[in-house]
Amino acid sequence: MGAQIHQPAPDFELYDVEGRRHRLRDYRGRIVVVDFWSAECPISRDYDPYFSEFAERFAAHGVVVLAVDSNTYEDEGVFHEAVRTRNLSFPVLRDKGNQVADLYGAETTPHVFVVDREGLLRYRGHVDDRSWQQKHPTTDYLEQVVRALLAGEEPPVTERPPFGCTINRAWDL
């Protein structure tokens, strides 16, 4: 089931490619967008420019984007190369064993979770209304949620089905 809306977001401690530690609790007082990300998923890759622009645009407002790679079978070399070459403006954290993805109930890349300044989960789901049939978004759920939280308002939407590549988890046989 994973993390629930209006409940404390599960804390985590993960490391980026430079070995810097990132703990969700260290971002208390800021709005945090947790984006489950993949080095190999073409949909996740297509959203990279969106998230880089979003992170830069909202940074001055106290919004942080943290990407989390939970795909068990992604090669470390592919992971590091993708982070190095994609010109990302946000940290990408490695979730080996997909423990954080399991805590949150993340299903796809991307699958976003928005945590408010008090550490409560306020949104989970898709970035916007793109789909296999609709290639260009008409509604940006993530921006609506973040703008509402910045204004001290309730988000207009709290959950949308995620869209993207399935997170590859380890199988215990």
Residue by residue, DSSP assigns 125-159 as E-SSS--SS--S-S--HHHHHHHHHHTT---S-SB
Provide the percentage of residues in the chain whose pLDDT is more than 90: 84
Burial of 41 per CB tally in 10 Å (0-12, 13-18, 19+) = buried
- pTM score, whole prediction: 0.95
Positions in the chain short of pLDDT 50: 173
What pLDDT shows up at residue 173? 44
Tell me the per-residue pLDDT of 62-108, one tens digit each, with 9 for 90 and over: 999 999 999 988 888 889 899 999 989 999 999 988 999 999 999 99
Domain topology for 13-166: Glutaredoxin (3.40.30)
Domain positions in the chain: 13-166
In 3D space, the residue among 160, 164, 120 whose CA is nearest the CA of residue 143 turns out to be 160
